[in-house]
Structure 1
């Protein structure tokens, strides 16, 4: 029986940087009554507050929800309020190395940008995130920029050579996430295992970037069951199926 259902955020539970819609919020609330839930994404804590938590009932069900920002480099849980359990933050020297390497990779790639919406590089403490069109780019522009991941794959290949001591993964619609070595979504899965005392075999992970180089892909190596989804609409149908299966298990007890 599965005890923990884990989700990516952008492209899985919601459109890029958009809040959960009403149907998704209702489905997650129903799921929380039958299983524990975790959300692990490249976004930082404020993004989770806006996209997820603001759309969920503010009651004791939140104790069944775990939030892992910046690809699992941070972990928040709820008691009477949300509190951080850990944060694997970069040192100043590491941040400078990553930023310089990223700038060099962009120049070496030859990829040009006709327009940017905000800064391309964001320091999230435990993660440096590159957003191809800028942090505030509209979704329609982001969706057209790199739908097949080819532009980011080119930049990632250069970064992999420059940042051999770090983890580099593509995520979201236009982003590349850089974390400390060995700290990625697989690290987050193992933290969930240790903190919640739930075995990996009792977990299901849903994500839209379970492709080679995608920031969901490291989850595969943990042994957790993984379901690749196209978008939030497909995620809704999968959640409905999980709820039905868990309800059937509980009924047969």
Structure 2
């Protein structure tokens, strides 16, 4: 199968799209917000409005705490929590609002075993050093054990956004590291993540798994999910969602995402 091409955000018939979709799913970093930063208030408001019109999912490579601080803390009580489907660490977790308990509830979480986590961490450090991607000066933790996912961040978890975006603009460093680690870890899934990261999780669990699981939960078909993300090329961590058959929209940052949301809201409200 050849390379699949998502729709450009400004080349879409939003009326036709709104008529055929039954859910909207978003990547987080680079799509709803800049890396590890809270959503800006205008996009948070638009996102909250969308949740009153259609089921909305956030499928992020980041851990739950980041989804909480970047998204939930910004939308607050303005969103329809019953329509939110949160899938941190690339869909290895699924979190829903429990109205009776008044809190968020983890429905499932696919954990790596301690041995798998140790092997993944050892491979990441060894291969990053061999490839010259082990930076000596970093902002915070390089390798994070998220339980269901191990994430390598070349510049550290707290690196400034501008430094992250400048480190590997063509994705070649992340691609080389992911390929090297995949050879070490044939029973796990290794893929390039955000602008400086490589993620390792259980095999077969990626954003394709996440959108298929979401479709099953909602009782709809995958093509009825609109997926919006910024890394839609074959090396990007959003590409599995494209391959799964979603109605995929490519954006270059939150400024374009808010345009998508507002146009979808306009047509869905009709």
Q: What are the superposed Cα offsets for residues 156-199 of structure 1, whole Å, 9 maximum, x if unpaired? A: 12112222221112222211111100011111111111222222
1:57 aligned counterpart, secondary structure: helix
Residue matched to 1:20: 39
Q: In 1, are the aligned partners of 2:133 and 2:154 still within 8 Å (CA)?
A: no
Mean CA deviation greater in 190-199 or 29-38: 190-199
Could you say what the CA RMSD is over the residues aligned between the two structures, in angstroms? 1.4
TM-score, normalised to structure 2, is 0.88
Instruction: Give the distance between the partners of 1:155 and 1:116, measured in 2 at CA.
Output: 18
Shift of residue 110, structure 1, vs aligned partner: 2.5
Q: In 2, are the aligned partners of 1:65 and 1:78 still within 8 Å (CA)?
A: yes
Residue matched to 1:244: 266
Instruction: Give the distance between the partners of 2:137 and 2:129, measured in 1 at CA.
Output: 16
Instruction: Give the distance between the partners of 1:59 and 1:21, measured in 2 at CA.
Output: 14
Residue matched to 1:251: none
> Number of residues paired by the alignment?
248
Q: In 2, are the aligned partners of 1:177 and 1:215 still within 8 Å (CA)?
A: no
1:167 aligns with 2:214: no
Mean CA deviation greater in 198-207 or 58-67: 58-67
Shift of residue 60, structure 1, vs aligned partner: 7.0
Residue matched to 1:226: 248
Instruction: Give the distance between the partners of 1:112 and 1:4, measured in 2 at CA.
Output: 40
Instruction: Give the distance between the partners of 1:171 and 1:112, measured in 2 at CA.
Output: 16
Instruction: Give the distance between the partners of 1:164 and 1:230, measured in 2 at CA.
Output: 33
1:62 aligns with 2:84: no
1:40 aligns with 2:40: no
Shift of residue 79, structure 1, vs aligned partner: 2.2
TM-score, normalised to structure 1, is 0.94
Mean CA deviation greater in 6-15 or 167-176: 167-176
Instruction: Give the distance between the partners of 2:268 and 2:73, measured in 1 at CA.
Output: 26
Instruction: Give the distance between the partners of 2:225 and 2:112, measured in 1 at CA.
Output: 29
Shift of residue 58, structure 1, vs aligned partner: 2.1
Aligned pairs for 1:75-224 within 5 A? 75-80=94-99, 81-224=103-246
Structure 2: state its 5+ residue gaps.
1-19
Instruction: Give the distance between the partners of 1:208 and 1:150, measured in 2 at CA.
Output: 17
Shift of residue 32, structure 1, vs aligned partner: 1.0
Q: In 1, are the aligned partners of 2:63 and 2:88 still within 8 Å (CA)?
A: yes
Shift of residue 105, structure 1, vs aligned partner: 1.1
